[in-house]
Each structure stands twice: as structure tokens, then as C-alpha cells.
Amino acid sequence: MTLVERISQDLTASMKARDAERTSVLRMAKAALKNREIDKGEPLDDAEAVKALQSLVKQREDSAEQYDNASRPELADKERAEIGVLKVYLPAEILDEEIAAAVEKAIAETAAASPKDMGKVMKAAMAALAASGKAVDGKRVNAAARKSLGG
């Protein structure tokens, strides 16, 4: 069963269970996936669906941060609850140790010596981490690369 099919089935189940919050989030996710599918002109594979869901999670994280800064904790909590529903459909997040190892390997491979080489290191590290099949946050990789390069 594809990720898109799983979301559709879970949406139906949440509607039957009268779970309003979950239904709302799954409808939003299904609409975003359908829009991507229409833009592409053909059905999405699981990797593309995961990317779409990751962008929805990132939007929610940014919104929650903005609400926190604006002293609106009730709205920030709502965004975080939506993140919790969406993360069920994403692959497990990568560990900090795995990120650090990939960054160190990328530094060795690219012979990076200073923060000027950040682009090469990021490209190599992100490629290696993407091959792991786990969810990778570029901000975390960037922070690890800066720390290792002394930037």
C-alpha cells in the first residue's frame, strides 16, 4: 500500500471515528499530495509523498515558532499537534550521531578545511544521509557541519 493510499484509508477511519483534529490534518495532507500529483501529471511515488509531508511538517514547525514569538501558545500547540499527526507517516528521523559521522566522512572526502567549503560538505553529507532512507533535517546537518568546520 502506498503512502497516499494509507493516508486516504486513515482519513476515512478518522472520519468514522469522528476525530475532528486528525480528520482536518489528514484532509490537508491529502489535498497537498493531490496538488503535487496534479503538478507532476502522474501519481506520486512514496519518496515524493514523503517530501511533500516533510514540507508540511516544516511549515507547521515554522508556524509554531512564529506563534511562540507572538505569545500565542494555544496556536503553537495546535501546530505541534498537527506535526504529531503528520510525523506518523514519515520515516524515522536520523540520529545526531549518524549526522556527525556523515559530516566527518564528507569533510574527509572533500578535503574541506574551512567554513568556505561548507557547500561541498553539505552536498556530500546530504547525499549520504538521503541514501539512509531516514528523514533528514538540513538545519541539523548544517549545524553539525559548521561545528566540525569551525564556522
Residue 151 in this model has a pLDDT that exceeds 70: no
State the pLDDT at residue 55: 92
Query: Who has greater pLDDT, 28 or 126?
Result: 28
How far is 151 from 136, CA to CA, in rounded Å?
Answer: 21
How far is 142 from 79, CA to CA, in rounded Å?
Answer: 25
Residue 16 in this model has a pLDDT that exceeds 70: yes
How far is 30 from 39, CA to CA, in rounded Å?
Answer: 14
In the block, which residue shows the cell 501519481? 43
CB 136 within 8 A of CB 129: yes
CA atoms within 13 A on the CB side of 110: 22
Can you state the angle between helices 73-87 and 46-69, rounded to 10 degrees?
170
How far is 92 from 124, CA to CA, in rounded Å?
Answer: 21
Query: Who has greater pLDDT, 113 or 13?
Result: 13
Digit-coded pLDDT (tens) for 68-101? 999 999 999 999 999 999 999 988 888 888 888 8
> Where in the sequence of the chain do the CATH 1.10.1510.10 domains occur?
3-87
CB 137 within 8 A of CB 93: yes
State the pLDDT at residue 62: 95
Q: Domain 3-87 carries which CATH code?
A: 1.10.1510.10
DSSP one-letter string for 39-73: HHTS---HHHHHHHHHHHHHHHHHHHHHHHHTT-H
